Structure 1
Amino acid sequence: MRTMVGGIAFYVQGGNSPTTVYFPGAGLVGLDYLNLADPDQGTHVFYDRGGTGWSTPVPLPRSAADVARELQETLPAPGPYLLVGHSMGAVYARRFAQLFPADVAGMLFLDPGHEDLLAHLPPEAAALGAAMKPDPTQLPDLTEAQLEAARQAYASLLAAWPDEVRAELTDHHLANWRTGLHEAANLESEVYDEVRHGGEVPDVPVIVLTAGAGNPAWSAYGSPELVAKTLAGIRDLHAELAASFTRGEHRVLDGATHQYAHIEQPDAVRAALHDLIARLD
Structure 2
Amino acid sequence: MRTFVDVGGRQIALYQGFDAERVGAPVVVLPGAGLVGLDFWSIATGDTVLYDRGGTGWSDDVPLPRSAGDVAIELKQALPPGPWILVGHSLGAVYARRFAQLFPADVRALLLLDPGHEDLFDYLPPEAAELNQALKADLPDLTAEQIRAAREAYSRLLAAWPPDVRAELVDYHLSQWRTSLRESAGLESDVYPEVRSGGPVPDVPTTVLTAGAGNPAWATVAPPALVRQALDGIHKLHATIAGQSSRGRHILVEGATHQYLHIEQPGVVLAALAQLAR
Could you state the TM-score of these two structures normalised by the residue count of structure 2?
0.95
Aligned counterparts of 2:250 and 2:24: Cα–Cα separation in 1 = 25
CA RMSD of aligned residues (A): 1.2
> Residue 171 of structure 1 corresponds to which residue in structure 2?
171
Shift of 1:13: 2.4
Shift of 1:16: 9.5
> Residue 33 of structure 2 corresponds to which residue in structure 1?
26
**Bigger shift: residues 250-259 or 16-25:** 16-25
Stretches of 4+ moved more than 2 A in 1? Answer: 13-17
Alignment identity in percent?
Answer: 63
The yes-or-no answer on 1:64 pairing with 2:68 is yes
> Residue 89 of structure 1 corresponds to which residue in structure 2?
92
Shift of 1:17: 5.4
The yes-or-no answer on 1:255 pairing with 2:258 is no
Pick one of 54, 57, 65 that aligns with 1:53.
57
Shift of 1:147: 0.6
Aligned counterparts of 2:42 and 2:217: Cα–Cα separation in 1 = 24
SS at match of 2:185: helix
Structure 1 segment 1-281 matched on structure 2, within 5 A: 1-6=1-6, 7-14=11-18, 18-39=25-46, 43-75=47-79, 77-135=80-138, 139-278=139-278
SS at match of 1:129: helix
The amino acid that maps onto 1:11 is Y
Count of matched residue pairs: 271
Shift of 1:230: 0.4
Shift of 1:58: 0.6
Aligned counterparts of 2:126 and 2:180: Cα–Cα separation in 1 = 26
Aligned counterparts of 1:19 and 1:70: Cα–Cα separation in 2 = 18
Aligned counterparts of 1:225 and 1:207: Cα–Cα separation in 2 = 28
Give the conservation status (yes or no) of the 8 Å contact 1:82–1:106: yes
Aligned counterparts of 1:245 and 1:229: Cα–Cα separation in 2 = 26
Give the conservation status (yes or no) of the 8 Å contact 1:155–1:166: yes
Give the conservation status (yes or no) of the 8 Å contact 1:86–1:109: yes
Shift of 1:140: 2.1
Could you state the TM-score of these two structures normalised by the residue count of structure 1?
0.94
Unpaired stretches in structure 1, ≥5 consecutive residues: none
Post-superposition Cα deviations, 1:61-87, rounded to whole Å, max 9, x if no partner, equal 000000000110111x44100000000
Shift of 1:171: 0.4
**Bigger shift: residues 100-109 or 6-15:** 6-15
Give the conservation status (yes or no) of the 8 Å contact 1:19–1:78: no
The amino acid that maps onto 1:19 is P
Post-superposition Cα deviations, 1:107-136, rounded to whole Å, max 9, x if no partner, equal 00000000101101111111111111113x
Post-superposition Cα deviations, 1:155-185, rounded to whole Å, max 9, x if no partner, equal 1000010000000000011110001110000
Shift of 1:247: 0.2
Unpaired stretches in structure 2, ≥5 consecutive residues: none
SS at match of 1:204: coil
